[in-house]
Chains A and B, each alone.
Chain A
């Protein structure tokens, strides 16, 4: 059975304090590892897709990386506006997604 686990469940950072969010996955034939940002009361907003181990993608203060077992979302010098829940999802060989439970990030000024 496909499984995606995100850690930590919640993370509190001071503004400017860099950190990483983890997404561990077990899927049959990975067909993409997806990161989303979700603000309270809104739908998930797409951030990145990674397809193969070693791949990296960046957007502003965020960088996503992928290994054969996990993905990391690195946040460099975060700002309060980066506060949100970050979701990862893994696509399998049948092209179905399994979502993790999310990491709720709070960045204090």
Chain B
């Protein structure tokens, strides 16, 4: 079974704090993704990575950055957290190639106060 593990399920941070969300996959997948999910807005792509040290902006990259130093690990960074970044964050991975399935982690609930 594919396993995508997000290290923190629930976090509460203060406005202005730097936040790291970590994600690890165990299937040797080349592609990794970070989404956020908000009621009424659905799933929105923040950043993705096709391979180690590569990153591409998604639909809503503002206020976020990412790091992919190792193939199995993809980190989402909020440089200075703001209340409008309170959300459910979902990491996902997929093997490269057209039409392959994306597998999701359990999600990280972030509240910024």
The chain A residues found within 8 Å of chain B, CB to CB, are 31-32, 34, 36, 41-46, 49, 51, 87, 89, 91, 95-97, 99-102
Residues of B within 8 A of A (CB): 4, 6, 40, 42-43, 45, 90, 98-107, 109
In the assembled complex, which residues on chain B have CB atoms less than 8 Å from the CB atom of A31? 98-99
Residue ID in chain B nearest A44 by CB atoms: B104
Task: Report whether A41 and B109 are in contact in the complex, using a CB–CB cutoff of 8 Å.
Answer: yes
Secondary structure dominating the interface of A: loop
Q: Which residues of chain B are near A32, meaning CB under 8 Å?
A: 98-101
Chain B residues within an 8 Å CB radius of A42 = 106-107
Q: Provide the bound-state CA to CA distance between A100 and B42, in Å.
A: 7
Which of B40, B42, B100 has a CB less than 8 Å from the CB of A99?
Answer: B42
Partner of A102, one of B42, B101, B109: B42
**Inter-chain contact B90/A95, CB cutoff 8 Å:** no
Q: Which residue of chain B has the shortest Cβ distance to A87 in the bound complex?
A: B43
User: Which residues of B are found within 8 Å of A45, using beta-carbon distances?
Assistant: 104
CB distance from B84 to the nearest CB of A (A): 20
Contact, CB under 8 Å: B107 / A43: yes
